[in-house]
Amino acid sequence: MNGFERLFPYLLAGVSVGGQYALIAIGYTMVYGILRLINFAHGDIFTVAGFFMVYMSATMPLVVSIPLTIILTVLLGFTVERVAYKPLREAPRMSIMISAIGVSYLLQNLMWYVTGGLAKQYPVLPWLSNSVTILSATTKIVTIVTPLLTVALVLLLLQLINHTKTGMAMRAVSRDFETAKLMGIKIDRVISISFIIGSFLAAAGSLLYFTNYPTVTPTVGAMPGLKAFVAAVFGGIGSIPGAVVGAFLIGISENLIKAFGYSTFSDAFTFALLIVILLVRPTGLFGEKTIDKV
């Protein structure tokens, strides 16, 4: 029992971080499912959402600033897609990936410019930041809320994808881009919607993630961004439940590694896992099998 007591706080933190990764990972997996694009800028959009919150909450009450942060982040995701990815729809896949890297570079420099490179104090969200004790482990309420909220949002999203017309269009586009286009599905609209949903979830994830930390800096989002991507690949890219399961697994194992005193390797572990998964089962846990067509 003693061992469990020592590990329990880490397990709790792992579940919480896993939930936050899951919210980001869905954005990656949806965009990849439809555009076959690794949206390298997604992690930066997540960080920008953190800064939106910092600047909004400085002048406005939380009731206004939280919805406003979410709206602005969604707008940003939408704009990035329209400006940087849409013109390259017919271009080779490498070009659009390079464009994504360019956007990430631009967003990071922009954040650096606006903040002057200084870490900004993240606002304390009432209630969420309060401490709570479960089974002798003290943690913030956000740790408990995160996994619950994540699961709720994912169920909502699955409803949307499986039972609405828009969702059907999204599934059609991700199955076969060209055919969907010929069937009269408005591709650009579907792509925009997936970016909007992705950015919305990233904004929600950012609210939960940064509540755990005192400050935000321009490059802080790169790591969680990449890890969320690994989670998406792990679960089988293109599959939403896969991304969620992958994210929770990665969040928990990372924190368990920290519990055993190998903090330096918690990042490395995630990437090693990625390489192993890609070699053993490239389509991930829940991915569809792809057949190479000549």
Q: Which residue ranges make up the site for another protein (CB under 8 A)?
A: 36-38, 83-84, 87-88, 91, 93-95, 97-99, 101-106, 108-110, 112-114, 116-117, 219, 222, 226, 229-230, 233, 264-265, 267-268, 270-272, 274-275, 278-279, 282, 294
| Comparison of 105 and 260: residue with beta carbon closer to another protein | 105
| Comparison of 89 and 138: residue with beta carbon closer to another protein | 89
Closest approach of another protein to the CB of residue 265, in Å = 6
Beta bridge partners of 134: 137
Q: Is the dihedral of CA 174, 176, 178, 184 positive or negative?
A: negative
| Comparison of 138 and 219: residue with beta carbon closer to another protein | 219
Give the C-alpha separation, 46 to 21, whole Å.
11
| Comparison of 141 and 285: residue with beta carbon closer to another protein | 285
* Nearest Cα residue to 73 out of 106, 50, 101: 50
Closest approach of another protein to the CB of residue 270, in Å = 8
Q: How many CA atoms lie within 13 A of 284 on its CB side?
A: 24
Chain length of the chain: 294
β-pairing, 215-216 vs 120-121, is: antiparallel
| Comparison of 123 and 287: residue with beta carbon closer to another protein | 287
| Comparison of 97 and 128: residue with beta carbon closer to another protein | 97
Closest approach of another protein to the CB of residue 288, in Å = 15
Q: Are 120 and 57 in contact (CB under 8 A)?
A: no
Closest approach of another protein to the CB of residue 52, in Å = 18
Closest approach of another protein to the CB of residue 111, in Å = 9
Beta bridge partners of 139: 132
Closest approach of another protein to the CB of residue 153, in Å = 25
Beta bridge partners of 216: 120
Phi, psi of 53 (to 5 degrees): -60, -45
Closest approach of another protein to the CB of residue 88, in Å = 7
| Comparison of 81 and 153: residue with beta carbon closer to another protein | 81
Contacts of residues 59-66 at CB distance under 8 Å and 24 or more positions apart, as own/partner, are 62/123, 62/125, 62/126, 66/207
| Comparison of 88 and 128: residue with beta carbon closer to another protein | 88
- What residues contact 150, with CB distance under 8 A and at least 6 apart? 19, 20, 22, 23, 244
Closest approach of another protein to the CB of residue 121, in Å = 19
Three-state SS at 44: helix
